[in-house]
């Protein structure tokens, strides 16, 4: 629980951020960890609240409150405060196999449900989690855990995002022989190329891969399973197959098709190109030229849109405008959105802060979308026409006379995703849901209609958070294990 009076004695203190203008000069991670004594004080703020909503994952008003992994947060916060870091990391790893990922990119559902947040500032759960896992690596506590006995069963995991990695980790620990197939040249899925390096350094993923390989997991990269005519024959050599191939079909804009207009990109495609350049040590010059000195418009106000803002600023964009169809959220919780519900409030993220530091104003424009795209004679975008919108009776309605013309030489579409790519499900004869995700026999389960074939993560659930993907992978692994062994082991 931490110190009995810790929440009264110590104020919330997050890991320090590098100055916006400094961090805009590179793609290095943006946080500076607190020193050990300060971190222990932050763990001391975890109080004996009786019912720890932080780890509950219960539904309120249609939303999940707290951590889906049911992390034992009060336990390892207390151990951290007491200086028992080896015990703390064991309690953390009991429920979360990849704290180095969630400690960097999870929006911290746990913190939003922390009781300290009801009248004050919540415990820095995510920063504490990252501190523990990084300390464990530094102090030699993250040694390979090799199964003492093998089952002789072979499992193929298609996709190496957080769901695939979680499933592979759990199945390997149960003694099964796991091979993970990834179509990119590096594992990690969107963790590797969809999330910018300044949020998640790619060496963190490579470090985890090394440990998983030492534990007996095999990774095969550059393997686009489903597009290979030998797919069925390949998978027939396994006792079970787990599909964790994501939900990468991007939602398009009716007036802006990347195939028809130069300078228009789906956000993840653009971010992937840039991150591949960062990882290789050299961003292609033609990619830099598409951004440097240009007026950039980002459509979409989520995490991916924010990542686009931070990325183009690092590549020298002349200006950035971020369009969001929804109204601007309130700064404080409303009466209809009480604790411990997820706070539907205005959040100024790192990319917004950097744009404010560089240009002196927030780049976001709410209740606005793109109405027209104007191209030059070479079919390259030169400007857009925006229009104010509002929802009336569930329909999006344009406000007459609100059109504005903006200079735009690069348009990034970060409007979310509409489901899984269908070539692998089609190859395996699997049905898709109305949401274009892989259909399972039980909507809450993971087994598909094909014996021995399972689906998890965004491919089954739809686009979601890293922490939910890990939860999916772990839960699916339990179902696969029961299928292979004939009994369930909790």
* pLDDT tens digits, 166-189: 999 999 999 999 999 999 999 999
The pLDDT, as a whole number, for residue 488 is 76
Residue 230: band (very low, low, confident or very high) from pLDDT cuts 50, 70, 90: confident
End-to-end CA distance of the chain: 26
Contact 457, 164 (CB under 8 A): yes
Whose tokens are 């390989």? That residue is 213
The pLDDT, as a whole number, for residue 490 is 60
User: Which of helix, strand or coil describes residue 366?
Assistant: strand
The pLDDT, as a whole number, for residue 330 is 96
454 vs 63 pLDDT, higher one: 454
Pairwise CA distance, residues 488 & 7, whole Å: 41
Which of 220, 251, 216 is CA-nearest to residue 235? Answer: 220
The pLDDT, as a whole number, for residue 61 is 87
Where does 154-248+418-485 sit in CATH, by number? 3.50.50.60
Is pLDDT at 307 greater than 80 in this prediction? yes
Where does 264-413 sit in CATH, by number? 3.50.50.60
Pairwise CA distance, residues 480 & 430, whole Å: 17
* pLDDT tens digits, 91-103: 999 999 999 999 9
User: Per-domain residue ranges for the chain?
Assistant: 6-138, 154-248+418-485, 264-413
Is pLDDT at 46 greater than 70 in this prediction? yes
Fold match flag (6-138 vs 154-248+418-485): no
The pLDDT, as a whole number, for residue 229 is 84
Residue 1: band (very low, low, confident or very high) from pLDDT cuts 50, 70, 90: low
What is the average pLDDT across 43-58? 91
What is the average pLDDT across 47-53? 87
Pairwise CA distance, residues 405 & 370, whole Å: 10
| Structure token digits, residue 366 | 């709410």
Buried residues in 33-48 as b, exposed as e (16+ CB within 10 A) = ebeeeebbbbbbbbbe
* pLDDT tens digits, 250-304: 999 999 999 999 999 999 999 999 999 999 999 999 999 999 999 999 999 999 9
Secondary structure of the chain: what % helix, strand, coil (to 5)? 35, 20, 45
DSSP string, 258-304: TTTSBTEEEHHHHHHHHHHHHHHT---HHHHHTTTT-EEEEE--SHH
Is pLDDT at 305 greater than 80 in this prediction? yes
The pLDDT, as a whole number, for residue 120 is 77
Is pLDDT at 352 greater than 80 in this prediction? yes
Q: Do the bridges between strand 154-158 and strand 177-182 make them parallel or antiparallel, or are there none, so unpaired? A: parallel
Domain 6-138: give its CATH superfamily. Alpha-helical ferredoxin (1.10.1060.10)
Measure the CA dihedral 429/151/93/85, to 10°: -160
Average model confidence (pLDDT) across the chain: 95
């Amino acid at each position: 629980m931490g110190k009995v009076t810790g929440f009264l004695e110590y104020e919330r203190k997050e890991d320090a951020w590098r100055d916006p203008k400094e961090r805009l000069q590179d793609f290095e991670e943006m946080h500076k960890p607190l020193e050990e004594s300060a971190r222990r004080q932050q763990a001391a703020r975890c109080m004996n609240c009786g019912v720890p909503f932080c780890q509950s994952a219960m539904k309120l008003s249609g939303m999940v409150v707290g951590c889906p992994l049911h992390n034992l947060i009060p336990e390892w916060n207390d151990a951290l405060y007491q200086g028992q870091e080896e015990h703390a990391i064991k309690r953390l790893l009991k429920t979360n196999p990849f704290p180095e990922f969630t400690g960097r990119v999870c929006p911290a559902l746990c913190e939003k449900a922390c009781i300290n947040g009801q009248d004050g500032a919540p415990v820095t759960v995510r920063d504490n989690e990252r501190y523990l896992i990084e300390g464990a690596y530094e102090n030699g506590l993250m040694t390979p855990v090799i199964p003492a006995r093998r089952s002789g069963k072979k499992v193929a995991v298609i996709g190496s995002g957080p769901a695939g990695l979680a499933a592979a980790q759990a199945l390997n620990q149960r003694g099964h022989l796991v091979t993970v197939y990834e179509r990119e040249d590096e594992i990690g899925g969107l963790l590797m190329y969809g999330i910018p390096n300044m949020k998640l350094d790619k060496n963190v993923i490579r470090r985890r891969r090394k440990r998983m390989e030492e534990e007996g997991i095999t990774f095969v990269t550059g393997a686009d399973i489903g597009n290979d005519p030998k797919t069925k024959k390949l998978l027939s050599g396994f006792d079970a197959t787990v599909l964790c191939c994501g939900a990468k079909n991007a939602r398009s804009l009716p007036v802006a098709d990347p195939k028809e207009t130069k300078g228009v990109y789906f956000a993840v495609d653009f971010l992937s190109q840039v991150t591949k350049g960062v990882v290789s040590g050299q961003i292609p010059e033609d990619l830099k030229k598409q951004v440097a000195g240009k007026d950039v418009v980002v459509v979409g106000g989520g995490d991916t849109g924010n990542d686009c803002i931070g990325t183009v600023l690092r590549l020298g964009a002349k200006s950035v405008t971020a369009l969001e169809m929804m109204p601007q959220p309130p700064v404080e919780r409303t009466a209809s959105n009480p604790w411990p519900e997820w706070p539907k409030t205005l959040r100024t993220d790192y990319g917004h802060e950097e744009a404010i530091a560089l240009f002196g104003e927030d780049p976001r424009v709410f209740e606005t979308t793109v109405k027209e795209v104007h191209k030059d004679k070479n079919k390259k975008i030169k400007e857009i026409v925006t229009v104010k919108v509002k929802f009336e009776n569930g329909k999006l309605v344009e406000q007459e006379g609100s059109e504005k013309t903006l200079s735009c030489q690069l348009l990034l579409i970060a409007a979310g995703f509409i489901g899984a790519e269908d070539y692998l499900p089609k190859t395996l004869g699997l049905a898709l849901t109305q949401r274009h995700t892989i259909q399972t026999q039980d909507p809450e389960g993971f087994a598909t209609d094909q014996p021995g074939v399972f689906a998890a993560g965004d491919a089954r659930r739809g686009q979601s958070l890293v922490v939910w993907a890990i939860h999916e992978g772990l839960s699916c692994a339990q179902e696969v294990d029961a299928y292979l062994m004939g009994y369930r082991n909790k």
